Structure 1
């Protein structure tokens, strides 16, 4: 009698739990239709918590995440369904939605693989085939754009190298012109000195005498400064260790 009573309690509990799951899904669906996707997500999660293998709750949870642009979370949800559900139709739909989530995240190559897996489970799905072609076209555009960017970078680098070379050549030429100008100025100075009867770098007698007098005066001034400094004495700062 006790065993029968226990079985009845378990059946009743299961029915109550099942009814709660259905209620959560229904409420989630109603909120989904009202585009209250965050609230719908919360109800679907309640249903999943009560029964992890609840397919409608799991699938709708993925849809609610997708509608909120939580594409990474949505992709993980659909990937879990596709990998664990033996039903080919369910797996095809899950892979299709996984492909959409990856496509929204700009993961083109991964989205293409997801669409291909969807078609393996349901080869007659024209919508998936269209999305696959769309993703492949996007990937080609991206690859072409990357190629164009690379070519443009190479062209820019080449132009920059050419500009740098032109700048360096100009600097070299300017330096060469300046050197020639300096040499010419030196030659003109030497020619001028010759015309004045002086050898290059030769000092006149008068200039030499003036330089000698100036040197003697500087030496006397220096000695006078040293003498004064000696008389004044040097001041020292004395520090003490306490």
Structure 2
């Protein structure tokens, strides 16, 4: 029995020692965290924001739920224009902070970082959360109005862009249709020209296929040109011939009467 009691006492002493050591380590870490926080604040006041960020990160390494270190780290990153990296630090503060004013400040800074990143709708949401925790913050209310105006402007721009795209697409379609109509008209004109050329070639082919014999027959069937009228000189010669012929005939008749022989007549023409 005494042995069991002895073992139990030893166990309790060891457990207590471990607990005491753990508490000491926790206290030491918290002290280290506060120390690094103060160091970071000093660097921040000197506008050495990069070095301040390192100090705040060390503070969070000692105490990951140290909301003050997270908030100040967010500010240092914000000052270095690392808005994307700053937002998670502010979100951590908003999540771990126990008082509404600290939460409101964290959401306010989230809104500012979102505005710098041109994420206007998330900025509006962040400012609204800030005002839920601190409705009397006029600066947050003003920033909310600016953010909302930017959202409206962005929505209008998107609407105008869509309308412009629709108009451009319609113009392209109209131009395409006009091009099709022009191509169709050009095709019809070309077809007409081709048909006309074919008709001309057909006429030529008909001429080629004509039978030359038929043309000769047609030429033969044509009436021959009549002889022209006699000239005055020809008439004179004809009269003289007739006169001479008459004299010869008379002479022959007189000789026949005398001799009784028949005289052969010869034509003078």
Normalising by the smaller structure, the TM-score range is: 0.7 to 0.9
Tell me what 1:148 maps to: 160
SS at 2:168 equivalent: helix
Tell me what 1:222 maps to: none
More displaced 10-residue stretch of structure 1: 101-110 or 78-87: 101-110
Tell me what 1:183 maps to: 195
SS at 2:56 equivalent: helix
Tell me what 1:116 maps to: 128
Question: Any idea what the Cα deviations from partners look like across 1:180-208, whole Å, max 9, x if unmatched?
Answer: 00000011111223334449xxxxxxxxx
Instruction: Report how far residue 67 of structure 1 moved.
Output: 1.9
Matching residue within 79, 102, 126 for 1:90: 102
Alignment CA distance shift 1:178-1:54 (3 Å) = same
Instruction: Report how far residue 36 of structure 1 moved.
Output: 2.1
Query: Structure 2 regions of 5+ residues with no counterpart?
Result: 1-13, 212-269
Tell me what 2:6 maps to: none
The whole-number CA distance in structure 2 between the counterparts of 1:8 and 1:179 is 105
Tell me what 1:49 maps to: 61
Tell me what 1:131 maps to: 143
Alignment CA distance shift 1:156-1:13 (3 Å) = closer
The whole-number CA distance in structure 1 between the counterparts of 2:98 and 2:46 is 32
The whole-number CA distance in structure 2 between the counterparts of 1:134 and 1:193 is 87
TM-score (normalizing by structure 2): 0.66
> What value does the CA root-mean-square deviation take over the aligned residues?
2.7
User: How many residues align structurally?
Assistant: 198
Contact 2:94 2:107 (C-alpha < 8 Å) held by counterparts: yes
The whole-number CA distance in structure 1 between the counterparts of 2:132 and 2:75 is 22
The whole-number CA distance in structure 2 between the counterparts of 1:195 and 1:144 is 76
Tell me what 2:39 maps to: 27
Contact 2:70 2:92 (C-alpha < 8 Å) held by counterparts: no
Matching residue within 179, 191, 206 for 1:167: 179
The whole-number CA distance in structure 2 between the counterparts of 1:61 and 1:140 is 32
TM-score (normalizing by structure 1): 0.73
Larger radius of gyration: 2
The whole-number CA distance in structure 1 between the counterparts of 2:80 and 2:34 is 23
Query: Structure 1 regions of 5+ residues with no counterpart?
Result: 200-242
